[in-house]
Structure 1
């Protein structure tokens, strides 16, 4: 049956540039998606690397848990982070404590557990426990600041 005899079929020529434009649009979309996939993969790799580095530099999970419980007890007993911050560091009256972060500071002697204090005037760290060091033949103890 010829195409002219069917009233439901209306043949039309396909413009050659139309299919080319569609193909280019598909290529562009796939190219953009590929770039986003590469960026997301890079971010995921960085996040995994940072997590691994944190686990490598920290003590065992049990030590970390006991340390955090001890720190929480100390904070409660001493009246909160604000009071500890003001007792530990020299501050000016208008200085405000903005945020605190429990963290490990990496040192040549290994990781030191403590608190990072962010105030309106400074960024400061103080270890949870005093560290020992030698002065001549005598052993001294001091918080790592």
Structure 2
């Protein structure tokens, strides 16, 4: 056989083997891109899972703190059931707000949150409402009081603070128990209101700041 032909065959065989080896041991550029895309997607998924995990941990801490502030777990759960039944009965949180408080024309409810109001008798469970006009609080349960005539009646403990009368708001926490977070509202006449045990603490505070800034 002609040496030139042999040489050509040898080169062709070498090139074929080289290509085969490269294809076998090195990733195809298209596969590389696919692998890179898959890895990127996995990284994003892991990042989302970690973020959701942190949020779940924070929420579980807030739930534990919320329950801990109640007199007993049983009483706290019963209070939530009664509140939930009340909300369903009237047709939603917005209607609860409209039912318990005077709502001016054009006023909009921005945020509602379960929490506790600090009182001289201890933490009082209820709903905090933030609207475009005011910050209000209504207790979960009605309370026994006596009228001027000496008759006993049941009323809900309510607080209503116009946004324009709020001097400032503060975030704080118990130094010894960092999970205990508070929102302090101080009015122009220096009345202080302390709220705690929020199920969504930071989100509630953000809405509060937004409402005050736009009042």
TM-score interval w.r.t. the shorter chain? 0.5 to 0.7
- The answer to whether structure 1 residue 75 and structure 2 residue 121 are counterparts is no
RMSD, aligned CA: 2.4
Displaced runs of 4+ in structure 1, greater than 3 A? 50-57
What is the rounded CA distance, in whole Å, between the counterparts of 1:52 and 1:106 in structure 2?
18
For residues 14-25 of structure 1, what are the structure 2 equivalents within 5 Å? Answer: none
Unpaired runs of at least 5, structure 1: 1-49
Distance 1:77 1:99, change over 3 A: same
Partner secondary structure for residue 64 of structure 1: helix
Match of 1:59 among 57, 71, 83: 71
Q: Does 1:142 align with 2:155?
A: yes
The equivalent position to 2:100 in structure 1, one of 72, 77, 88, is 88
The CA distance in 2 between the partners of 1:129 and 1:139, in whole Å, is: 16
| Per-residue deviation, 1:54 | 5.6
Structure 2 distance, partners of 1:61, 1:112, is 14
TM-score of the superposed pair, with normalisation by structure 1: 0.57
Q: Does 1:123 align with 2:139?
A: no
Specify which structure has the bigger relative contact order, considering alpha-carbon pairs within 8 angstroms and separated by 6 or more residues. 2
How many residues are aligned here? 96
Q: Structure 2: any 5+ residue segments left out of the alignment?
A: 1-61, 159-215
